[in-house]
């Protein structure tokens, strides 16, 4: 191909690309959220409650934008052996390979997606076994759930000590009143990772237009500080309804966020901790 043709095809490619992807007007974004003109704040994206089938949309966006993230996942979503057992219990004629069990096949897909997240270089931590309010549970049951999450998630966890984030912030927000929760995590050698900003994407009131992006950039630019921001990618049961809004729009929000933030890996915010 001669250079003229090469220029032509490159030009067409750019045209097609720019037609598909809306250009981001960083000056307008910075003005809208009163962000400083010449400073970017460090930010790390974290996603709770997955893995879900829609996590692939998040992974695609992160790969395209070269953004590192952390996924705090629920062990029950990849505990496929247990899911197959439940299928067999409900119908003893279920084939041993699980081919007739829809929940099992979905679990296998979630496992593949979680592996992909790990291969893509993202951090994976536990968000417990099944998203209970652990501070209200018996200590033995709580410990049992934390350990089960570690056992099931062992092939996926990316750090030593493994990362953990409590569901509902329960045990972290109320750590003075319920010190046994954080203590149990510490005794089990989990590193609890909290967040400094929330996208409030769990609230259905925010699931329209760019309200979730507004939440993030308003907090970053008014505080003049970044941090770890909480999003959700889990979508497949009652508790997670509506999170599809995040998985479908994150690709659009990342370039807009980049006008005011510098995406950093998790280590940037874990100074003082040795994670490998
Ligand atoms: Zn959660």
Q: Please choose, from the candidates 116, 104, 101, 148, the residue with its C-alpha nearest in 3D space to the C-alpha of residue 51.
A: 116
User: What residue segments make up the domains of the chain, in order of their start?
Assistant: 22-269
DSSP codes joined into one string, 119-160: HTT-EEEE--SS---GGGS-HHHHHHHHHHHHHHHTTT--SS
What is the 93 CA–ligand 1 centroid distance (Å)?
A: 35
Using the CB atoms, write b or e for 112-150: b if 16+ within 10 Å: ebbeebeeeebbbbbbbbebeebbeeeeeebbebbebbb
Radius of gyration of the chain (CA): 21
What is the 72 CA–ligand 1 centroid distance (Å)?
A: 8
Mean pLDDT, residues 228-242:
75
* Domain range 22-269, its CATH number among 3.40.190.150, 3.40.190.10, 3.20.20.370, 3.40.630.30: 3.20.20.370
Mean pLDDT, residues 54-63:
97
| Token pair in block for residue 267 | 């280590």
What is the 156 CA–ligand 1 centroid distance (Å)?
A: 18
What is the 12 CA–ligand 1 centroid distance (Å)?
A: 44
What single DSSP character describes residue 263?
Answer: E
Instruction: Identify the pLDDT of residue 176.
Output: 96
pLDDT per position as a tens digit, 90-139: 988 888 888 889 999 999 999 999 999 999 999 999 999 999 999 999 99
pLDDT per position as a tens digit, 6-18: 444 444 444 444 4
What is the 167 CA–ligand 1 centroid distance (Å)?
A: 4
pLDDT-derived band at 242 (thresholds 50, 70, 90) equals: low
Burial class (CB in 10 A: 0-12, 13-18, 19+), 163: buried
Distances (CA, A) of 14 to 17, 53, 139, 153: 5, 31, 58, 42
Question: What is the reported pTM?
Answer: 0.90
Contacts of 150 (CB under 8 A, 6+ apart): 126, 157, 162, 188, 190
What is the 267 CA–ligand 1 centroid distance (Å)?
A: 21
């Amino acid at each position: 191909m001669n250079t003229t043709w090469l220029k032509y095809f490159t030009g067409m490619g750019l045209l097609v690309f720019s037609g598909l992807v809306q250009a981001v007007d960083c000056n307008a974004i910075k003005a809208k959220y009163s962000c400083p003109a010449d400073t970017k704040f460090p930010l790390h994206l974290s996603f709770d409650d997955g893995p879900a089938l829609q996590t692939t949309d998040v992974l695609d966006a992160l790969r395209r934008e070269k953004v590192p993230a952390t996924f705090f996942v629920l062990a029950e979503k990849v505990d496929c052996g247990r899911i197959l057992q439940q299928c067999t219990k409900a119908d003893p004629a279920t084939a041993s390979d699980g081919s007739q069990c829809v929940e099992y096949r979905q679990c296998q897909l979630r496992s593949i997606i979680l592996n992909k997240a790990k291969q893509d270089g993202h951090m994976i931590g536990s968000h417990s076994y099944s998203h209970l309010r652990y501070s209200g549970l018996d200590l033995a049951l709580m410990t049992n759930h934390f350990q089960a999450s570690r056992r099931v998630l062992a092939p996926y966890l990316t750090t030593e000590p493994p990362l953990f984030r409590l569901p509902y912030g329960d045990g972290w927000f109320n750590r003075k009143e319920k010190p046994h929760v954080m203590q149990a995590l510490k005794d089990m050698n989990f590193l609890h990772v909290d967040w400094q900003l929330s996208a409030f994407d769990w609230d259905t009131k925010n699931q329209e237009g760019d309200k979730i992006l507004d939440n993030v950039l308003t907090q970053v630019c008014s505080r003049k500080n970044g941090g770890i921001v909480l999003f959700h990618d889990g979508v497949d049961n009652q508790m997670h309804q509506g999170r599809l809004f995040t998985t479908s729009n994150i690709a659009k929000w990342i370039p807009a966020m980049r006008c005011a933030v510098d995406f950093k890996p998790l280590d940037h915010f874990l100074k003082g901790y040795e994670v490998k």
